[in-house]
Amino acid sequence: MSSCSAGGIGPISPRRLSAQAQPNVDTGIAVYFADPHSPWQRGTNENTNGLLREYLPKGTDLSRWTPEDLLAVQGAVNSRPRKVLGWKTLAEVLDKHLRSLHQAGAATTD
């Protein structure tokens, strides 16, 4: 399921997205949905779930944790170097990409 919602908060199914929200997401970017029960099609998602489970085992009641606790877990997972990124962190890759756009004159922070 997608984590976005058309007109509200909460997950929506790919069928509902394609039926109701498609005109709003017609950006020219291809959108793909994994087949049900096919975790091999969601490699990054499954890997991230595994990393999160190091801190929050499957079935954990997240209401037990403060927002600060969850932000700490988020920071730990997001600052972890990834093999797929050449052992760089997400922030390092994003920073390099944004700097290249800025140097090319494609984007500014002004």
Q: Is the pLDDT of residue 46 over 90?
A: no
Residue 2 has pLDDT above 80, yes or no: no
User: Would you say the C-alpha torsion 55, 59, 60, 62 has a positive or negative sign?
Assistant: positive
Are 102 and 109 spatial neighbours (Cβ–Cβ below 8 Å)?
A: yes
pLDDT in tens, 48-81: 899 999 999 999 999 999 999 999 999 999 999 9
Closest CA to 34 of 18, 19, 24, 45: 45
**For tokens 């990409």, what's the residue?**
97
Biggest alpha carbon distance in the chain?
47
What is the reported pLDDT for 14? Answer: 61
Identify the pLDDT of residue 31. Answer: 72
Q: Are 85 and 93 in contact (CB under 8 A)?
A: yes
* pLDDT reported for residue 69: 95
Query: Hunting for tokens 């760089």 — which residue is that?
Result: 88
Percent of the chain with pLDDT over 90: 42
Q: What is the mean pLDDT of the chain?
A: 79
Return the H-helix or E-strand segment holding 3.
none
